[in-house]
Structure 1
Amino acid sequence: MNKAITDGLVLMPPPFSAGLNLWSREDGTPGSASYAGQPNAAFVPADQDFAGCMELQKTVGTQSLRAFAQTPLRPGMYLRVTARVKAIAGSLPSVRIAGWAGRSNGSNVSGVPQTGPAKALTSYGEVVTVTAIIGSGDRQGVDMVWGTAAVYGHFGLDLTGPTGGVVRIDDIVIEDVTDVFHRNMMDWVDVRDYGALGDGVTDDAAAFAAADAAADGRRVLVSAGQYYLGESVTINSRVSFEGTLTMPANARLACTRNYDLDTYASAFGGELAGFRRALQVLFYFSDHVTLDLSGRRVDLPAPVDVADVAGLASFAQRRVLTNGQLNVVAGSAWNTSTTTSVATYAPAQPYRLTGVTNVANVPVGARVSGTGVGREVYVLSKNVGAGTLDLSQPLWAAAGTRTFTFHRYKYVLDFSGFSSLQKFEVTDIEFQCNGEASAIMLAPSGNTFRLADSVVNKPKDRGITSIGAGCQGMFVDQCQFLSNEQPLRAQDRTTIALNVNSNDAKIRDNRIVRFAHFAVMNGTGHMFIGNHFFQGDEETAGVRRAGLIFTQPNVKTLVTSNYIDNCFIEWSNEHDQAPDFSNEFSFGGMTVDGNIFTVNDAGSFFRWFVVTPRGPGHYINGLSVTGNTFRTVNANVDRVEAVDTTHADLDYARFRNVVFSANTFNGISQITASPLTIEHAQGTPADTWVVDGAAYLPFGGRARNVQAVVAEGAITNVNNVQQVPVPYVQLEQGSGGRFVHLRWPAAVKGRVHVTLRCDAPV
């Protein structure tokens, strides 16, 4: 409904019958000349068409008529000014609605249109109606767009064209026609009503802010158009987008009530641009910690450098990316960068390469390979001026000057541009890598990164890569890692699901399918609980590779309740610049408890637990393998554990705290136990009984401890007379020290149960 009074605002100018002194012949501002007493103007009380009207003779080129009354304007308000005019005599002029736009300080708003469309009078006595609509927004049908600076207007009309003509003008009508554009009952305000032009050039940031401030619980509508925002804008109201935005790279749009991918995709014209903008804002919110991808797919033609998107070097507050799919689109941006350089390594500087040729071209985050380099060593940082590279881990046998190769994989989410990132979480996200890209590269430092309830699907090279200490306290929970190399033989695969350089990773309830390796783990304090990882293939008597690889000797790690399928645990010290034992902690701190170990179609040489010392002198001090089930299918394995002596053997004479107990063995030729209770039957009387438990002891270890000797039945002499002797034991007898001798006071025979161990007594 059109209104002459809106929310207490008087819109109508005074009628002409109230006096021509209320009407200006200039612009209507205070002090301008009026029509009172003018020879070319008079009030006509009666007219056959008008109840009362003003008769006016045109005497100048543009004859102005303005009300001295100030008609108020507010952002979002639209007024229609209507005049009915007829020619009486003389030349026929043209007529148009006109006004003067006033600021709150009384000055004119220059640069805005202050006249409406003109209409020519073509005959005498014909009543012609002219109208114009004035308002703040650039909407279709608005003749005079005044923006938000104008707070009132002096309205009237102009006569243009030839002079000398006489016209009569009915009382001018001003109506609120805001309802034509949006009704009061609508729960939104439009940014165009607050001065936004949406021309893609004019900076509409102030108009967006004004609309948000005026919304007062209503929704902000960004109607059709392309809007340029030249600075960061925060919209605290609910917002919806019909139009799209462009902004400088360092400017941010913060939609505090609609912080999700749907909103940002609409705002920036697509999922990719919307995702990058929403991700940028995630690091600047104080009242939002979660970016919801709204269950949508974002196609990525190139890696997302998250630090560059955020414009930050470090971040320490909890933030979460959740609920969607990041889909890699094939292209050259995902190609691995490979560089070869000559460099020098000195064990005295275990984390640094010096004298690096071509150092500027070696990218941070590149994997290092070469003689004497362990698995999953990465470039942590570089100093081009000094010609040095800092590494994530030491090199075990690379002393001297040699050639190294650096492979820089490309990642869907690359956090390596941060110096430190803490408490960032990714949940319910599918990384659809499509064999083109890796998934996540962590920041060089930071703690408690979390990946949960997500899928890493077909990574080209790596699932999660740590190039430094950004994996400290990492959580990986209830995820799937699905290899891109599943059809290949196990020995031909190169992809790795994840690696860790620091301490306290919690890897729980995940499913990992047919990678070269599941995890390469440095650091201590890790927990692997409830995972199912399998790495088999279709080969008969096929090669099997390590699923879990621990790269330092003393790990303080728990491996429990996992399903370890067609792969094994390897325990190495390949990230040690001095791998020979030298009074440090040796291999220890490992608990392997309650797991299911299985293998299909493997050769008899397969083992589920392998220790690989890279230098001599090491031993085991703290290993518990208890309550596990070992089973073969279409295979017969010799035993479950082994030492890989390619580089060195263990010192079996120093074993301490080694327990293999309560395990079950199916399809394994030789079980393993320590403590081991073995039955020894001596049929021929002798004063020395040789008890052989060597085949049962872990890793073929030495018989270093006897806990008990219990006779089963009588011990008798050669005449079958019962004896009550007490033997003593001699440990580590025979070849390799793998036998125990029971020494009796005299030659006796009988049956005993001997409990022996491969480790020294406490």
Structure 2
Amino acid sequence: MNKAITDGLVLMPPAFTAGLDVWSSEDGTPGSATYDGAGNAALVTADQDFGGCLELAKTDSTQKLRYMGQTPILPGCYLQVTARVKAISGNLPDVRIAAWAGDGSENEVTGLVDTGPSTTLTAYGEVVEVTAIIGSGARGGVDMPWGTEPVYAHIGLDMTGANGGVVRVDDLIIEDVTSFFLRDMIDWIDVVDFGAVGDGTTDDSAAFEAADAAAVAAGVSLLVPEGSYRLNSNVTLEAAVRFVGTVSMPGGNRLTLQQNYDLPTYIDAFGDELEGFRRAVAVLFNSSSHESLDMKGRRIEINEPIDVHAMAGVDNFNTRRLIRNGLILAESSNNWDPDVVTSQATYSTSQNTTLTNVTNVANIAVGSLVEGLGVGREVYVKEKNVGAGTITLSAPLFDAVGTQTYTFTRFKYLLDFSGFDYLGRFVLDNVELHGRKEASCILLPPSGLIFHVRDCFFTEPKHRGITSHGRGCQGMLIDRCQFLSGEQTIPAQDRISICFNVNANDVKVRDNRAARPGQFGIMGGTGHIISGNHFFQGDDESDGIRLAGLVLTKPNCKTTIVGNYIDNCSIDWTNEHDSDPEHNAELSFGALKIVGNIFFATDVASSFRFLIVRPVGPNHYIHGLTVTGNSFKVIDSTIERVEKMDTTYAELDWGRARNIQFDSNTFNGIGQYTASPITLEFNENSPSSTWVCSFAEWMPFGSWARNVVGLTTENRIQNSSGGTVWDMPYAQVEKGTESNEVHLHWSEASQGRVQLTVRMDNQR
């Protein structure tokens, strides 16, 4: 850097032969005495060493010489002042560079070092050069560090020592020597200095690597200046790097930034948001030096799905990797339109996750939603074999044996992981996936373990938030996420969006919030924990229709639903992903705990229920259900009861019910309280030997009165004569046409009041 060249600054004072009226014998400030006509100063026009010069006799203890022009002093600019002098006669003085510093108001800035090193003249006729450097910073080699307050200087020299000597002074030289300090000031190495061309064609890989090695050795940064730099091989930069220019690479090569591994730097490097993201993700999966990609709050807008597998370039990956802190936003584009294929195929329970003889199989995309008769919710194409004409399904079909026409719909996702064979321990943290009602958000890999989504926003997905089309959801964690539907103004029954689905086991869904989606979650597999979520699916319709918020598709689901706010939607429990839905030698509906939840609905149809059991095959029963400590509340309407059995396909066998706890719940706006065990009061006002005690509406799901676990008489039981009946009755359970009555048989006709406690199940 040279300000005299780059900014046109005039630094050099005029030659002495131009006149001494601009040379002061004081500080150089306006009005100070000059050497013009002074008795101790004369111009010499032809000195053998200097040519034209000033001859000066020393008459003061500090003989000053100052240029009266204002030499600019700029922050970051360093000036070297040089004077060549020689003694002619008399006493030999000491000589030094000196200057007066002025601020923007033309006042002196005091308290500064205003002189340079002093040199003693030791011989007559010997030319001696004295120098000093003036600048803002206290750097090594700077003699007069002035900071940023001075804006100009009157520069010259001093002679000190004994008076009586005569010296000659050559014209002063003032030079910008900022370049001396560039390495210290800028702290970088330029790739161009190591041969990088930046013409977009020449391979600059070697130059980048050489410059990087020098930067690492010097402990400084790397600069990629303006230009387009082609890198034809993998390049790893160990030093911190700043991109002013951009780079380009073949698709299979990687630029690894060891010190600046973050999305903004990759965007700067490649000059494009999406390309920068692609290149950064490629490094994430192919470098052991980085476990996370920080988007640093950057937003990338895309008009087509991001194929993460294609960016990664690996088929199997099981090392923790994380993308965090950013926004991925869908732009309006036809590339988001679903691919829809209708095709005929054959299904058999002997291969219960396979469709055979699939016509047009080549055009059916992996990851497509499968719809047809006997197909449960959220069944997808896991893989296909074009040569064999087969499709592998994510789950079995419950009533589709034979040949029929299916519809295959492939949604488009912002992040598509379906190309991996296996992906484990991948994390999205604090990322917003904004579908803009154009795109779905995430398609999981077909196989994997512990895919973790935390503190993310799924905003306006068109169809799906998170889709599992295989078993890449095994052990998945969804924590503290927001699912913000783009269908919030649409009646609940017309919405199509689903926040997530699950096919595999051991999924944790915790502390999330979902605003008016079509459905919150469709969960196959077992071993799930759903806790602390608030999912609400209501609308502004009067007597509104409500859909399932959470669907469990495994009968023995081994699942806990605890501490959730289940708002204007239901829990549905089915076995719709069972190719042999009739109960055989298997576990039936059981291992479900629904504890401590808030169930709430507003202005809903009276037929609405919060808990629905829907077997799709006969002979099933419940053998392990806990529904306790929940709050059921409806406002602006009343529903008949909180639970029901959906008999569209089959009924449950209540004669086999066992280990059911349905109590300690609260009910508001509910027509019929239900519980098991339940205690009811029965009054017999006329003597009878058989008391019929009906639990018809009180048994959950309209089940049977199977066991009497408590009987207490209140006050006196009387016979027909008014005498006291001292003996106890015996009870018969499962009486009446619906098996929901208990008959109490007395030894004689009796009347009075009893408290009777009954269960709908056997406890073991």
Which TM-score band applies after superposition, normalised by the shorter structure?
0.7 to 0.9
Where do residues 287-302 of structure 1 align in structure 2 (5 Å cutoff)? 287-302=289-304
What is the alpha-carbon distance in structure 1 between the residues aligned to residue 274 and residue 440 of structure 2?
Answer: 18
Task: Give a deviation string over 1:686-724, Cα, whole Å, max 9, x none.
Answer: 221111112111101000111111112222222222222
Letter in 2 for 1:412: L
User: Given the alignment, which residue of 507, 511, 514 partners 2:513?
Assistant: 511
Q: 1:50 to 1:448 in 2, by over 3 A?
A: same
Q: After TM superposition, give the deviation of residue 184 of structure 1 in Å.
A: 3.9
What is the alpha-carbon distance in structure 1 between the residues aligned to residue 181 and residue 409 of structure 2?
Answer: 60
Q: Does the alignment pair 1:501 with 2:503?
A: yes
Task: Give a deviation string over 1:335-377, Cα, whole Å, max 9, x none.
Answer: 1101111111111100000011111111100111111111101
What is the alpha-carbon distance in structure 2 between the residues aligned to residue 606 and residue 720 of structure 1?
Answer: 49
User: Given the alignment, which residue of 378, 382, 386 partners 1:384?
Assistant: 386
For structure 2, the 5+ residue unaligned runs are: 3-47, 52-176
What is the alpha-carbon distance in structure 2 between the residues aligned to residue 528 and residue 465 of structure 1?
Answer: 17
Report SS of the residue matched to 1:371. coil
Counterpart residue number, 1:179: 179
What is the alpha-carbon distance in structure 2 between the residues aligned to residue 437 and residue 514 of structure 1?
Answer: 17
For structure 1, the 5+ residue unaligned runs are: 3-47, 52-176
Counterpart residue number, 1:375: 377
Q: 1:50 to 1:621 in 2, by over 3 A?
A: same
Q: Is the 8 A contact 2:224 2:241 kept in 1?
A: yes
Q: Does the alignment pair 1:327 with 2:329?
A: yes
Counterpart residue number, 1:544: 546
Q: Is the 8 A contact 1:354 1:387 kept in 2?
A: yes
Q: Does the alignment pair 1:264 with 2:266?
A: yes
Q: 1:583 to 1:431 in 2, by over 3 A?
A: same
Q: Is the 8 A contact 1:731 1:740 kept in 2?
A: yes
What is the alpha-carbon distance in structure 1 between the residues aligned to residue 203 and residue 666 of structure 2?
Answer: 74
Q: After TM superposition, give the deviation of residue 262 of structure 1 in Å.
A: 1.1
User: Given the alignment, which residue of 660, 663, 666 partners 1:661?
Assistant: 663
Q: Is the 8 A contact 1:705 1:761 kept in 2?
A: no
Q: Is the 8 A contact 1:293 1:323 kept in 2?
A: yes
Letter in 2 for 1:192: V
Report SS of the residue matched to 2:340. strand
Where do residues 400-479 of structure 1 align in structure 2 (5 Å cutoff)? 400-479=402-481
Q: After TM superposition, give the deviation of residue 182 of structure 1 in Å.
A: 3.7
Report SS of the residue matched to 1:193. helix
What is the alpha-carbon distance in structure 1 between the residues aligned to residue 180 and residue 235 of structure 2?
Answer: 29
Counterpart residue number, 1:578: 580
Counterpart residue number, 1:210: 210
Letter in 1 for 2:641: R
Q: Does the alignment pair 1:491 with 2:493?
A: yes
What is the alpha-carbon distance in structure 2 between the residues aligned to residue 331 and residue 323 of structure 1?
Answer: 25
Counterpart residue number, 1:172: none
Report SS of the residue matched to 2:239. coil
Letter in 1 for 2:528: H
Task: Give a deviation string over 1:592-625, Cα, whole Å, max 9, x none.
Answer: 0111111111111110000111111111111110
Q: Is the 8 A contact 2:660 2:763 kept in 1?
A: no
Letter in 1 for 2:683: A
What is the alpha-carbon distance in structure 2 between the residues aligned to residue 732 and residue 343 of structure 1?
Answer: 47
Q: Is the 8 A contact 1:420 1:446 kept in 2?
A: yes
Letter in 2 for 1:436: E
Task: Give a deviation string over 1:414-463, Cα, whole Å, max 9, x none.
Answer: 00000110010101111111011000000000011011111111101100
What is the alpha-carbon distance in structure 2 between the residues aligned to residue 265 and residue 761 of structure 1?
Answer: 64
Counterpart residue number, 1:363: 365
Letter in 2 for 1:680: F
What is the alpha-carbon distance in structure 2 between the residues aligned to residue 511 and residue 183 of structure 1?
Answer: 54
Counterpart residue number, 1:687: 689
Q: After TM superposition, give the deviation of residue 646 of structure 1 in Å.
A: 0.9
What is the alpha-carbon distance in structure 2 between the residues aligned to residue 597 and residue 684 of structure 1?
Answer: 42
What is the alpha-carbon distance in structure 1 between the residues aligned to residue 640 and residue 205 of structure 2?
Answer: 74
Q: Does the alignment pair 1:196 with 2:212?
A: no
Report SS of the residue matched to 1:581. coil
How many residues are matched?
595
Report SS of the residue matched to 1:283. helix
Task: Give a deviation string over 1:634-670, Cα, whole Å, max 9, x none.
Answer: 1110000001111111111111111111100001010
What is the alpha-carbon distance in structure 1 between the residues aligned to residue 558 and residue 325 of structure 2?
Answer: 35
Q: Is the 8 A contact 1:682 1:689 kept in 2?
A: yes
What is the alpha-carbon distance in structure 2 between the residues aligned to residue 478 and residue 732 of structure 1?
Answer: 47
Q: 1:589 to 1:203 in 2, by over 3 A?
A: same
Counterpart residue number, 2:722: 720
Alpha-carbon RMSD: 2.0
Report SS of the residue matched to 1:638. coil
Counterpart residue number, 2:276: 274
Letter in 1 for 2:542: T
What is the alpha-carbon distance in structure 2 between the residues aligned to residue 292 and residue 612 of structure 1?
Answer: 45
Report SS of the residue matched to 1:484. coil
Counterpart residue number, 2:558: 556
User: Given the alignment, which residue of 592, 595, 603 partners 1:593?
Assistant: 595
What is the alpha-carbon distance in structure 1 between the residues aligned to residue 361 and residue 178 of structure 2?
Answer: 67
User: Given the alignment, which residue of 387, 392, 395 partners 1:393?
Assistant: 395
Letter in 2 for 1:330: S
Letter in 2 for 1:246: S
Q: Is the 8 A contact 2:696 2:702 kept in 1?
A: yes
Report SS of the residue matched to 1:277. helix
What is the alpha-carbon distance in structure 1 between the residues aligned to residue 497 and residue 181 of structure 2?
Answer: 60
What is the alpha-carbon distance in structure 1 between the residues aligned to residue 747 and residue 462 of structure 2?
Answer: 70
Letter in 1 for 2:288: S
Letter in 1 for 2:659: N
Q: Is the 8 A contact 2:246 2:269 kept in 1?
A: yes
What is the alpha-carbon distance in structure 1 between the residues aligned to residue 181 and residue 437 of structure 2?
Answer: 52
Q: Is the 8 A contact 2:505 2:528 kept in 1?
A: yes
What is the alpha-carbon distance in structure 2 between the residues aligned to residue 732 and residue 630 of structure 1?
Answer: 28
Task: Give a deviation string over 1:262-307, Cα, whole Å, max 9, x none.
Answer: 1111001022111111111111221211111111110111110000
Letter in 1 for 2:734: E
Counterpart residue number, 2:614: 612
Task: Give a deviation string over 1:70-100, Cα, whole Å, max 9, x none.
Answer: xxxxxxxxxxxxxxxxxxxxxxxxxxxxxxx
User: How does the TM-score come out when normalised to structure 2?
Assistant: 0.76
What is the alpha-carbon distance in structure 2 between the residues aligned to residue 260 and residue 712 of structure 1?
Answer: 76
What is the alpha-carbon distance in structure 2 between the residues aligned to residue 225 and residue 321 of structure 1?
Answer: 30
Task: Give a deviation string over 1:483-525, Cα, whole Å, max 9, x none.
Answer: 1111111111111110000001111111111111110000001
What is the alpha-carbon distance in structure 2 between the residues aligned to residue 712 and residue 527 of structure 1?
Answer: 44
Report SS of the residue matched to 2:429. strand
Q: Is the 8 A contact 2:691 2:743 kept in 1?
A: yes
User: Given the alignment, which residue of 631, 641, 647 partners 2:643?
Assistant: 641
User: How does the TM-score come out when normalised to structure 1?
Assistant: 0.76
What is the alpha-carbon distance in structure 1 between the residues aligned to residue 322 and residue 757 of structure 2?
Answer: 55
Counterpart residue number, 2:345: 343
Letter in 1 for 2:199: D
What is the alpha-carbon distance in structure 2 between the residues aligned to residue 381 and residue 270 of structure 1?
Answer: 34
Counterpart residue number, 1:107: none
Counterpart residue number, 2:652: 650
Report SS of the residue matched to 2:269. helix
Q: Is the 8 A contact 1:570 1:609 kept in 2?
A: yes
Percent identity over the alignment is 52
Q: After TM superposition, give the deviation of residue 50 of structure 1 in Å.
A: 13
What is the alpha-carbon distance in structure 2 between the residues aligned to residue 719 and residue 253 of structure 1?
Answer: 102
Report SS of the residue matched to 1:264. helix
